[in-house]
């Protein structure tokens, strides 16, 4: 895989976040969000996030049986 200084820094930061958050995805996201807020303040930026709609599954929605037929 090709790499450069910027990618190496990205990987170091990601490893650091993972070490700080352990297996807790919520803590990982909180750490990332805190750093983004610091960057916004320091550089006068404003990042906008997409609002994700919660998906709910209706109890009347048919589900697949999980079996798949394969051609012989």
3-state secondary structure of 4: coil
pLDDT at residue 61 in the model: 54
**pLDDT tens readout for residues 35-55:** 899 999 999 999 988 888 887
pLDDT at residue 62 in the model: 56
pLDDT at residue 14 in the model: 85
Return the HEC string of 13-68.
Answer: HHHHHHHHHCCCHHHHHHHHHHHHHHHHHHHCCCCCCCCCCCCCCCCCCCCCCCCC
5-21 and 25-43 helices cross at what angle (nearest 10)?
130
């Amino acid at each position: 895989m090709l790499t450069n200084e910027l990618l190496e820094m990205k990987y170091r930061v990601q490893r650091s976040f993972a070490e700080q958050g352990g297996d807790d995805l919520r803590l990982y996201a909180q750490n990332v969000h805190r750093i983004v807020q610091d960057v916004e303040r320091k550089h006068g930026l404003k990042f906008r996030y997409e609002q994700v709609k919660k998906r709910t599954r209706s109890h009347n929605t048919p589900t697949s049986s999980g079996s798949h037929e394969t051609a012989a």
